[in-house]
Amino acid sequence: MYNKKSVLDKKDFYKRYNKGEFGNRLRNWNSVEDLLNDEYPPTTLTARSSIPGAASLYNIGIYEIQSFPGKFRDFTFNESAPDHLLIFQGEIYRNTEHMHLHYSLSKTKMRIALRDFPEKPKTGIDLITYLRYHMPYCDYEWLEYLLDTYDDHTIEFGVYSRSIGLYPGSRTIFWEVRKY
């Protein structure tokens, strides 16, 4: 296994995520200024506060942000994910001893889905079979790359029923890679 520098905090993660280090993602903007200067912004967005512990805001209309830009001074933004198209979402962890998937079939925000509607965790060959069945080959290969490169990290991702994100043909969004 090849281990790049561990991801130790959110600030480090987002810096590397925005450069594309962790695979397919939705379009994102680092500031309200960047968003408002985009020629083709999406109509709905997710706003993530840079203040630790602050809640994210989901499905915010671009017109609200344009009308009150000062309200969103401490936020980064990404396109809103089409939760109604989720097949499953979860967190996977692999170390030298085992691989474990904590996941949900619920079509809601991941934090709620994993807390309130979890499925029985998958491990071993059941896990590999499940991933290969539901993920396009390119997405499964990228997940394997992340697991090999960032051992002992947790990887959050969602698999959708159609292409999504920056990479054509991909149906998986990799939300987070963390070891914190």
pLDDT score recorded for residue 50: 77
Q: Does residue 5 form part of some domain?
A: no
**Nearest Cα residue to 176 out of 28, 34, 45, 75:** 28
Residues 6+ apart with CB under 8 A from 130: 101, 122
Q: What 3-state class would DSSP assign to 10?
A: helix
Cα 93 from Cα 73, distance rounded (Å): 34
Query: Over the stretch 25-35, which tens digit does the pLDDT of each residue have?
Result: 999 998 999 99
User: Which residues of the chain, if any, have pLDDT below 50?
Assistant: none
- Shared domain for 61 and 93, answered yes or no, is no
Same domain, 93 and 165: yes
Residue 4 in any domain: the answer is no
Structural domain count, the chain: 2
- What is the predicted pLDDT for the residue at 24? 97
- pLDDT for the residue numbered 43: 93
Query: Do 170 and 103 share a structural domain?
Result: yes
Of the three residues 79, 94, 111, the one that is the final residue of a domain is 79
pTM here is: 0.91
pLDDT recorded at residue 1:
52
Measured on CA atoms in the order 165, 170, 176, 177, is the torsion positive or negative?
A: negative
Confidence at residue 85, expressed as pLDDT on a 0 to 100 scale: 98
Interval 131-157: pLDDT, tens: 999 999 999 999 999 999 998 999 999
User: Phi and psi dihedrals of 139, rounded to 5?
Assistant: -75, -40
The owner of tokens 């499925």 is 119
What pLDDT does 3 receive? 58
Are 172 and 106 found together in one domain?
yes
Q: Containing domain of residue 54, as a range?
A: 28-79
Strands of the sheet containing 86-94, edge to edge, are 122-123, 99-104, 86-94, 154-160, 172-178
Residue 15 pLDDT: 86
* pLDDT at res. 129: 98
